[in-house]
Amino acid sequence: MAENNPHILVVDDARDVRDPLIRYLQKNSFRATGAESAAAARKLLRTRSFDFVVLDVIMPGEDGLTFCRYLRENGEIPVLFLTGKTDEVDRIVGIELGADDYVVKPFNPRELIARIGAILRRVKALPPRLKASVPPRVQFDRWVLDSVRRELLDERGVGIPLSAGEFALLSVFVERPKVVLKREDLLDLTSGREALPFDRAIDNAIMRLRRKLEAHPRFPQIIKTVWGGGYVFAAEPVIL
């Protein structure tokens, strides 16, 4: 897996905070993407992969604290709060919610970078047992995906080896069944890189996966093509 730069999601309704911060993060060799609301952030999280969330506390609609709670219930992505209030209660509540740190606006961008870096190093060093883990075995169609052994098991339990790319792609699909995933999303989720113009890497990976997965690769039943859209995992995954 390409060890790419950490991808940071900046959630703030104020464009005059969000956009300069994204540019600053990108100048400091992070990947950064913005969302102007919790709802927009949820949507991005559904299809793309992030390593870190920078979150404004006060936003129209769902506020940052609520959204942070949701993030904590659904994973362990690190969260850093941006807060306008120096109010002590806000800080404590933020940390109790599971935030990893907070910065009071107006902030020094260099300090923000330093704190993000510190948290990412800390998280990277965490023992794996604490990390949000993919279920070890998932069944779908006539297969079982074993994510420890990184292979497919057929009905009789015979293992079919998967390459790293095939395993990564299939894992992404199994975790997001019945969602149309664009090529750029798949590329981001599997190798963490941006698509080049005329990038056919995903098409090839799909084809190679179908050859192992599908009974009749020319008429795929599990990974379907959405013309002009991308691909969908059409089977029903069951966690074992």
Partner DNA sequence: CGAAGTTGACACATTTTGTTACAAAGTTAG
Partner DNA sequence: CTAACTTTGTAACAAAATGTGTCAACTTCG
For the CB of residue 193, give the shortest distance to a second copy in the complex, in Å.
12
Q: Do 157 and 166 contact (CB within 8 A), yes or no?
A: no
51 binds, among DNA, a second copy, none (CB under 5 to 8 A by kind): none
Beta carbon of residue 114, minimum distance to DNA (angstroms, whole number): 30
Q: Which of 42, 91, 208, 212 binds DNA (CB under 7 A)?
A: 208
105: number of CA atoms within 13 Å, CB side? 17
- Min. distance of Cβ 32 from a second copy in angstroms? 22
Q: Are strands 143-146 and 151-153 parallel, antiparallel or unpaired?
A: antiparallel
The whole-angstrom separation of Cα 131 and Cα 110 is 28
Nearest-10 Cα torsion for 71, 73, 77, 79 = 50
Q: Which of 87, 154, 199, 236 binds DNA (CB under 7 A)?
A: 199
Least distance to a second copy, CB of residue 226, Å: 5
Answer whether 56's CB lies under 8 Å from 80's CB: no
Q: Is 89 in the site for DNA (CB under 7 A)?
A: no
Alpha-carbon distance of 193 to 131, in angstroms, equals 23
Give the integer Cα–Cα distance in Å for 191 and 200.
Answer: 14
Q: What is the token pair recorded at 7? A: 């991808």
Binding interface with a second copy (CB under 8 A): 1-2, 63, 65-66, 69-70, 73, 89, 93, 97, 101, 115, 118, 121-122, 124-128, 148-150, 161, 163-165, 176, 178-179, 219, 221, 224, 226-229, 232, 234
Out of 95, 114, 160, 207, the residue judged to bind DNA by CB under 7 A: 207
Applying CB under 7 A, the residues found at the interface with DNA are 161, 163-166, 183, 191, 196, 198-201, 203-208, 210, 217-218, 225-230
